[in-house]
Structure 1
Amino acid sequence: MARDEQILEAAEKLFYERSFDGVGVDEIGQAAGVSGSAIYRHFAGKEEILATLFDQAIDALLVGLSDPKDDPRDELRELVDSFVGFAQANRMLAGIWEREHRSLTGTYKRRYQRRLKLYIERWSDCLGKCYPGWTEGRLRTAIRAVQALMMSDATRSGGASSGREIGALLSAMALKSLEVLDLPGWSDAHLDA
Structure 2
Amino acid sequence: MATPITARDRAKAERSDALLTAAATLFAERGFSGVSLEDIGAAVGVSGPAVYRHFAGKQALLGALLVGVSRDLVAGGTAVFEASSDDEDRIRCLIRFHVDFALGHADVIRVQDRDLAHLSDADRADVRRLQRAYIDLWMTALAALRSVPSDELRLRVQAGFGLINSTPHSTRSAARAQAATAAVLTDMAYAALTA
TM-score for the superposition, normalised by structure 1: 0.80
Corresponding residue to 1:101 among 110, 116, 121: 116
**1:8-157 pair list within 5 angstroms:** 8-61=20-73, 62-63=75-76, 65-66=79-80, 67=82, 69-135=84-150, 137-156=151-170
Q: Write the distance in 1 (CA, Å) between the matches of 2:84 and 2:129.
A: 24
Q: Quote the offset at 1:156 in angstroms.
A: 3.5
Change (3 A) 1:99 1:139: farther
**1:162-173 pair list within 5 angstroms:** 162-173=177-188
Aligned residue pairs: how many?
A: 179
Q: Write the distance in 2 (CA, Å) between the matches of 1:157 and 1:177.
A: 19
Q: Which amino acid aligns with 2:122?
A: T
Change (3 A) 1:14 1:140: same
In angstroms, what is the RMSD of aligned CA positions?
Answer: 2.3
Q: Quote the offset at 1:36 in angstroms.
A: 2.1
Structure 1, unaligned runs of 5 or more: 181-193
Q: Which amino acid aligns with 2:63?
A: A
Q: Quote the offset at 1:167 in angstroms.
A: 0.6
Q: Write the distance in 2 (CA, Å) between the matches of 1:160 and 1:50.
A: 26
Q: Write the distance in 2 (CA, Å) between the matches of 1:69 and 1:9.
A: 31
Verify the 8 A CA contact 1:92 1:155 in the aligned structure 2: no
In terms of fraction of residues, the more helix-rich structure is 2
SS for the counterpart of 2:167 is coil
Verify the 8 A CA contact 1:146 1:174 in the aligned structure 2: yes
Q: Write the distance in 2 (CA, Å) between the matches of 1:3 and 1:71.
A: 41
Percent identity between matched residues is 31
1:36-71 Cα distance to aligned partner (Å, 9 max, x none)? 222222111112211221234234433364216343
Deviates more, 1:114-123 or 1:77-86: 114-123
Q: Quote the offset at 1:27 in angstroms.
A: 1.9
Q: Quote the offset at 1:158 in angstroms.
A: 4.3
Deviates more, 1:3-12 or 1:56-65: 56-65
Q: Write the distance in 1 (CA, Å) between the matches of 2:137 and 2:109.
A: 19
